[in-house]
Each structure stands twice: as structure tokens, then as C-alpha cells.
Amino acid sequence: MKFDDFFNKQNVFAVVGVSRNRDKYGYKVFIDLKKSGYEVYAINPKIDQIEDFKVYSSLKSLPVVPEVIVCIVPPEVTYEVVKEAKQLNINKIWMQPGSESKDAMDFCKKNNFEIIANSCIINNRKLGKLG
């Protein structure tokens, strides 16, 4: 899969598992994508704001349907996220290291999702693979 096709600037992103903690990847990924010029929405049912940005409780609560979901959650949560993504016809999933599960990967393959896993989105962007 080509990273530049997966992550072109036209795609809207949803980062599932954002955090207010600046040391966590849920914070770093969201802010990195924002600063890189992507349209990106934050999702975490336990918080309502990260810096000046609204945080949504689920994919279904977003004002738009994103093209790409970045999962930064425990593996069992990722499985629930991909099931919700299928309901919304979202088929591009980035699973940050540690968020993958066999169930989620199998579900994605069975449903013809485009998947990137075992790779950090920030590192790939800095290496020039992303916009």
C-alpha cells in the first residue's frame, strides 16, 4: 500500500484514543496531524477537549465521516472501533503499535479494509512517507 495514497491531504482523519497527556501518543499523533495541515478529529469518550479542540465520544458523533481512522487504544477497543468503522463505510485504518489485535486484523481483512499496522504514523510522516 502506498502511504501517499493512504494519507493524502484530502483525507479527513479521526484519532481514536486522544489524550491530554503530552507524553502519550494519543496527544502526539493528534497534534502532529493538526500541525501538518490535516483535517483531524479527536475521539475519546472520557474527555471533552484537548487544548482548544473539541473531543468527540465516538466515530458516529463526528460532524463528518472521516476517510482514515488512527487507533491509539488497547487492542480490544480497536476491534470495537473497526466494527463501528464498517457501519460508517470507513475502510482506512492505521493501528498504532500496541493497538493491533488478531480479531481487529482479521475483521479488517475479511471486510477489505486498507490497514497499516505495526508502524508509527509520526515516524512515517517525518520520514517523508506522509504529507
List the domains of the chain with CATH numbers. Answer: 13-126 (3.40.50.720)
For 53, the 3-state DSSP assignment is strand
Q: Each residue of 94-106: pLDDT tens digit? A: 999 999 999 999 9
Instruction: Write out pLDDT tens, residues 54-75.
Output: 999 999 999 999 999 999 999 9
Give 8's pLDDT tier (boundaries 50, 70, 90): confident
**What pLDDT is attached to residue 29?**
95
CA distance 79 to 38: 25
Strand segments, DSSP code E, in the chain are 12-16, 39-43, 49-50, 53-56, 68-71, 92-95, 114-117
Could you count the other beta carbons within 10 Å of the beta carbon of residue 83? 13
Cell triple for residue 19? 489524550
